[in-house]
Structure 1
Amino acid sequence: MEAHIDLWLAASIVAMSLLLSAFFAGAETAFTAASRARMLSLENAGDARAAIVNRILAVRERFIGAMLIGYNIVAIGASAFMTSVLTAVFGKSGVLYATAVMSVLVIVFAEVLPKTLAITKAEQAALLMARPVAFAVALLGPPALAIEAVVRLMLRPFGVSIGEHQSILSPTEEIRGQVALLHREGGVAKAERDMLGGLLDLSDLSVSEVMVHRTTMRTIDADLPSQEIVREVLASPYTRMPLWRGTPENIVGVLHAKDLLRALDAAGGDASRLSVEALALETWFVPGTTSLRDQLKAFLTRKTHFALVVDEYGEVMGLVTLEDILEEIVGDIADEHDVAVSGVRVQPDGSVNADGGVPIRDLNRAMDWNLPDEEATTIAGLVIHEARTIPDQGTAFNFYGFRFKVLRKARNRIATLRITPLPPPPAAKRED
C-alpha cells in the first residue's frame, strides 16, 4: 500500500515539476520572441500586462537568469526525485529507468511542446504569463543578480559586456530588414515596401541625386518678348519656370504660371503690357549636398515647392521640387500634364530600353531590381563606373546579373541602353 502511495506521490511531484519546467521554458521563448513594437503599442493603448512585459524585457539578463534558475531547479529536482523512487522500487536498474523516462518527459513536455506553443503565439503567450513571470523574476531576482555578476566577471577577460544591448545594425537597417522580411513572407505588398524604404532613405540621399539636371531643365530667356514668354509657359507641362538672362546659368527669378495668368487677365489679355521679370519670384538656391530629409523640412517651413541646386562653387546644377522628394517615397506621380516618356521601355523579350539619364533608383523600383546606386546615380553612370571608360555604341557588358548594351551614344554621353537580365548560372555539378 505504501509503495502504491509513493508511486502516486512521485507521479504528482514529477507532473508538477514538468508543468513548472514548461512554464519557465515557454516564458523565456515567448518573451524573447514577442514583438517589442507590438508590446509598446499595447502599453500605449493602456494594456497593463504589456507594460509588465516591457518592464521585464528592460532587464533581459535578469529575466533570462531567473527563468533558467527556475527551470533547472524544478527539472533537476524532479529527475533526482524520480531516480530515488525508481531505485527504491527496481534497485540499481531504477537509475536507467529514471533516466529514460525523465529524458522523454522533459524533452517532449518541458521543452519542445511549450516552446513550440510559445513561439507560435508569442505575443499572446507573453501577455498571458506576464504576471506569473513578474512574480518569478521578483522571487528569483537575488540569485539571478548574483549569477549575472559572476558571469560578468567571467566574460570580462574576453572583452564581452552583457550589459550592452545595442545591435550591430542601425535602427533604420533594422526596420528595413523587418520590412523586407515581411514582404518576402507576403505580409507587405511591394508598393508598401517601396514607400517605407523610400521614407527611410531620405536621410541618405542628397538633392543632387534626385534633381532635374540643368541639361534637361525647362527654362525661359527673360529677354524674349512677353508674348513669346506667355506661349512658352502655356506650352510647358510645369507651373514654375526659371528665368535666365545672358546665359542659361544666370537665373534671375522663377516665373509661376498662375501669377502670369493673373497679370495677363488684369492687362485685358494684352501680353505686350506685361513686365514678366517683375512677376518672377525670388530664386531659392540650395546646396547639392543637402539631404532630402532636410530639404523636405525646408520646403514645408518656407511653404514653397521649388529650389535651384548649386554646387560648391555656386554654379547651378539643376532644380529640385517637393514632388521630386515625394516621388522618392510614393513612386512616380503622374498627372494629365506630365510628359508621357518616362525613359524606361519594357521590351517583349523581357529586356528594358532605358535612357542613360534614368536614375538607378527609379529603374530598380519600376522593375523590382536591385542594381547598386552607391557609386552612380544614373544607369549610364553605373555602366561608365563599371567599364572604367565611356563605351562606344554597340558595346556590351555583363555585371550584377545583367547585360548592358549601348544602343545610342551622343558625343561623350550614353543616350540609350538595353538592359537584359541574365539567367542564373547553372548549379555546379557534384563530382563523385
Structure 2
Amino acid sequence: MLTIKLLIIVLLIGANAFFVASEFSLVRVRTSRIDQLIAEGNKKAASAKKVISSLDSYLSTTQLGITVISLVLGWLGEPTLRVIFNPLLIKLHVPGTLIHVVTFILSFLIITFFSVVVGELAPKNIAIQTAENIVLLVAKPLIFINKIMYPFTWTLNKSSRLVTKALGYDMQSDNEITHSEEELRIILSESLKSGEINQSEYKYVNNIFEFDNRIAKEIMVPRTEVVTVDKSDRIADLIRLAQSEKYTRYPVTDGDKDNVIGVLNMKEVLTDCVSNPDLRDDATIEPYINPIIHVIETVPIQGVLARMQKDNTHMAVLLDEYGGTAGIITVEDILEEIVGEIRDEFDTDEIPLIQKIGDAHYILDAKVLIEDVNDLLAIEIPDDDVDTIGGWLLTQKYDLKKGDSVPFQSYDFKVKDMEGSHVLYVEVSKKQEAASS
C-alpha cells in the first residue's frame, strides 16, 4: 500500500511538470513559427495551432490541473511520508509529543522540494528554452484533457471575466500578442546576439524603422546640386552634358529650376540616336520629356515612394513652402535609406558622406543630417531650424568663409570647402584641450 501511494505521488509530480511545461510553452511559442511548420506539412503543428488559437481556454486547463494536483499532493503526501518517518523517529528516541510535529515538517519540506524543483522549476526552464518542441509534444494530450475538464474551465473562465469586469477591466480572450517598435528593436538585438540574424539583416530592419520617421527633404539632392536641362536644348547639347555628368535621368526646366516641367530619360534618347544618327544635329529634347511629380519637401519618405509607385516615375521634385524647387528625390535616394549607399560603375570617384581621418577626426559632407552628426559624436547640436550640418554652420556665422571654425561642446567644426555661400565639406576634430585631457 505504501509503495502504491509513493508511486501516486511521483505520478502527481510528473503530471504537475506536464501542466507547468504546457503553460509556459504555450505563452512562449511564436504563432508565426507554428504557421510555418503547418506550411511545411508538420502534422503535430495543426494540433498546436488549435491549442494556441484558444489560448485562454487551454491556459485555464493547465492552471486548473496545477491547482488540483497541488491540493492532492498536500492531502496525500504528509500521511504517506509519516508512515516512513515515524519508525525512524521512534528509533532516534524523539519524544512522542514531538513526533507528529517533526513528521509534519519533514513531510512538508520534502513534498514541497520535489514539487517545486521537479514539478515546476525544471519543466518551466525546459519549456522556456524549447517552447516549440514542448508545444508540439503536449498539444494532443492537452486537447483531450481540455475536453474532459471543459465544464470546469468554462465555469472558471466565466467567473473570472465577471470579476475582472466588476473591477473595471474589459478583458478580451485569445488576443494575439503584439509588440511595440521598441520591443521589436530589443528582440532584433537579442536575435543578433544569439546568431539568429546577421548584421546586415539587423541593419536593414532597423533602417526601416528609421525610414518611417524621416521626411523627404532630409535625403533630397538640394537645388544647388541638381543638374537640369532646358526644354529648348538640343539633343547634341544633352549628349555632351551626359558625357560629363553620367546621369540616367535629368529634370527638365522651362526657364529656371523653379519651373521643372518634366524628366528626361537618357535611355530613350540614346536608343533613338542609335537608330537615327541625324537626331543629334537639330532635334530638340521636347519629344522625350516625361511627366514628373511635385510634392512638398516635408512629406514623409514613404508617402513620396507610394506616389512614385502609383505614377510609375523614378524622380520627384520637392517644393519649399513658397512653391519654389527645394531639390529632387529619386527612388535610389529612398532605397539607400534602407540598404545603405548604392554605387554604380560611374560612382568610382564619389566621396562618402562621412570620412574618418582618425580618432574623433572626420570630414563630413555638408549634407549630413545634424541627428547623424549627434549620433556620431555623442553631442547635442539643436536641429530645430535646420537639418544639415552645413546649414547649422551658416546659422552660427552669417559671413562664413572657407577655413572658418565654429566650436561646439568638445569639437571644432571647420569649413573645409565652399562654393559661393554653399558649404561643401566640414572638418570635425576634438578641441585641443579636450583631446589632451
TM-score between both structures, scaled by the size of structure 1: 0.81
Alignment of 1:306-325 (within 5 A): 306-311=315-320, 314-325=323-334
Q: Give the alignment partner of residue 266 of structure 2, picking from 257, 262, 272.
A: 257
C-alpha distance in 2 between matches for 1:308 and 1:69 = 64
Residues 29/346 of structure 1: CA separation in 2 closer, same or farther (3 Å cut): same
1:288 aligned onto 2:297 = yes
Q: Give the alignment partner of residue 8 of structure 1, picking from 3, 6, 9.
A: 3
**Counterpart AA for 1:394:** S
Q: Secondary structure at the match of 2:258?
A: coil
Q: CA deviation at 1:31?
A: 1.5
**Counterpart AA for 1:76:** L
Q: Indicate the residue corresponding to 1:99 in structure 2.
A: 108
Stretch moving more, 134-143 or 289-298: 289-298
1:407 aligned onto 2:414 = yes
Alignment of 1:339-378 (within 5 A): 339-359=349-369, 378=387
C-alpha distance in 2 between matches for 1:372 and 1:145 = 60
Q: Give the alignment partner of residue 115 of structure 1, picking from 103, 124, 127.
A: 124
1:47 aligned onto 2:54 = no
Residues 150/78 of structure 1: CA separation in 2 closer, same or farther (3 Å cut): same
Q: Indicate the residue corresponding to 2:396 in structure 1.
A: 390
Q: Indicate the residue corresponding to 1:418 in structure 2.
A: 428
Q: Indicate the residue corresponding to 1:216 in structure 2.
A: 225
Do the aligned partners of 2:234 and 2:285 also contact (CA within 8 Å) in 1? no
C-alpha distance in 2 between matches for 1:389 and 1:111 = 65
C-alpha distance in 1 between matches for 2:202 and 2:384 = 23
Do the aligned partners of 1:356 and 1:415 also contact (CA within 8 Å) in 2? yes
Q: CA deviation at 1:145?
A: 2.9
C-alpha distance in 1 between matches for 2:165 and 2:197 = 43
User: Structure 1 vs Structure 2: percent identity of aligned residues?
Assistant: 22
Residues 136/236 of structure 1: CA separation in 2 closer, same or farther (3 Å cut): same
C-alpha distance in 1 between matches for 2:322 and 2:61 = 63
Q: CA deviation at 1:282?
A: 2.7
Alignment of 1:31-42 (within 5 A): 31-42=26-37
Residues 103/372 of structure 1: CA separation in 2 closer, same or farther (3 Å cut): farther
Q: Indicate the residue corresponding to 1:63 in structure 2.
A: 58
RMSD over aligned Cα atoms = 3.6
Q: CA deviation at 1:413?
A: 5.9
**Counterpart AA for 1:46:** G
Q: Indicate the residue corresponding to 1:424 in structure 2.
A: none
Do the aligned partners of 1:406 and 1:414 also contact (CA within 8 Å) in 2? no
**Counterpart AA for 1:396:** P
Do the aligned partners of 1:79 and 1:98 also contact (CA within 8 Å) in 2? no
The answer for unaligned runs of 5 or more in structure 1 is 1-5, 422-432
Residues 161/16 of structure 1: CA separation in 2 closer, same or farther (3 Å cut): same
1:304-341: CA deviation from partner (whole Å, max 9, x where unpaired): 32222234654322212121222222111111112511
Q: CA deviation at 1:183?
A: 1.8
Stretch moving more, 372-381 or 337-346: 372-381
1:409-430: CA deviation from partner (whole Å, max 9, x where unpaired): 8658685152769xxxxxxxxx
Q: Secondary structure at the match of 1:395?
A: strand
Q: CA deviation at 1:70?
A: 0.2
**Counterpart AA for 2:327:** G
Do the aligned partners of 2:229 and 2:251 also contact (CA within 8 Å) in 1? yes
**Counterpart AA for 2:19:** F
Residues 50/201 of structure 1: CA separation in 2 closer, same or farther (3 Å cut): farther
1:150-208: CA deviation from partner (whole Å, max 9, x where unpaired): 333333354334326476844x5554442232123333222111212334555444433
The answer for unaligned runs of 5 or more in structure 2 is 87-98, 432-437
**Counterpart AA for 2:6:** A
Do the aligned partners of 1:227 and 1:271 also contact (CA within 8 Å) in 2? yes
C-alpha distance in 2 between matches for 1:182 and 1:243 = 48
C-alpha distance in 2 between matches for 1:301 and 1:249 = 24
C-alpha distance in 1 between matches for 2:266 and 2:188 = 41
C-alpha distance in 2 between matches for 1:198 and 1:326 = 10
Stretch moving more, 296-305 or 247-256: 296-305
C-alpha distance in 1 between matches for 2:159 and 2:64 = 14
Q: Indicate the residue corresponding to 1:428 in structure 2.
A: none
Residues 291/54 of structure 1: CA separation in 2 closer, same or farther (3 Å cut): farther
Stretch moving more, 257-266 or 234-243: 257-266
C-alpha distance in 1 between matches for 2:169 and 2:51 = 23
Do the aligned partners of 2:360 and 2:377 also contact (CA within 8 Å) in 1? no
1:234-282: CA deviation from partner (whole Å, max 9, x where unpaired): 1113111112232221223322222332444455367331212333223
Q: CA deviation at 1:24?
A: 0.6
Q: Secondary structure at the match of 1:46?
A: coil
Q: Indicate the residue corresponding to 1:430 in structure 2.
A: none
Do the aligned partners of 1:390 and 1:413 also contact (CA within 8 Å) in 2? no
1:18 aligned onto 2:10 = no
Q: Secondary structure at the match of 1:249?
A: strand
Residues 389/271 of structure 1: CA separation in 2 closer, same or farther (3 Å cut): closer
